[in-house]
A and B are shown apart, each in its own frame.
Chain A
């Protein structure tokens, strides 16, 4: 499932995938894979992404039915 909230939060901060990738020390392809739902990140990476985007885990990664 695509993570549109992550994509929206990144866009709201005016960050490119590369900028977010650099901020959390991963490759751009990894950020792209998370946004497309092709890769489930570890909790460590989720927290790093949340800190980089000033969001909580719930806001970015909690799936509501």
Chain B
């Protein structure tokens, strides 16, 4: 009962934060311009196909492997990460991740904080050896996967912002 209550409280807190961030962005971030909207649509399509291909591969692995590779649910969580990563990287690559009015500084800080917290959690789980149980990947490996996703997104943002800025300097 306590577990359900904590889950409900956490979900409610996350929902409130999402609503506040959404309202703030709507007020201060502006909208994506027409080129960005088009490219975000393409990014969504690529993410959708990446998830579809992943799901097919995952199903084949589950079907043909002699013993389970991962616990139920882990594979589907990974599918979500694959989709998010492909979408974010595609948008970042095409300068469609932020609106014209948004500054990436706050997002970079948020990602860095997220990476640090996930990293601490992952380090603790590595010490406990919680990722594998009888040769099967457990739900504990979702945290390092999350860490990997946000690290990749942060690196892509930094490369795009600082690495690509010289190449794209105004002619």
Contact = CB atoms under 8 A, between A and B. Distances in A.
A32 interface: yes
Contacts of B33: 25-27, 30, 45
Contacts of B168: 29, 32
A16 interface: yes
Q: Determine the interface band of chain B, counting residues with CB < 8 A from chain A.
A: 10 to 19
Main secondary structure of the interface of A (DSSP, over half): helix
A30 B30 CA distance: 15
A17 B30 CA distance: 19
A51 interface: no
A41 B95 contact: no
B170 A17 contact: yes
Contacts of B3: none
B34 interface: yes
Contacts of B35: 26-27, 29-30, 33, 39, 41
B100 A42 contact: no
Contacts of B95: 27, 29
A55 B34 CA distance: 21
Contacts of A26: 33-35, 100
Contacts of B170: 16-18, 28, 32
Given A16-B170, A25-B30, 20 more contacts: A17-B170, A18-B170, A22-B100, A25-B33, A25-B100, A26-B33, A27-B35, A27-B36, A27-B95, A27-B99, A27-B100, A29-B35, A29-B95, A30-B36, A39-B35, A41-B34, A42-B34, A44-B34, A45-B33, A45-B34
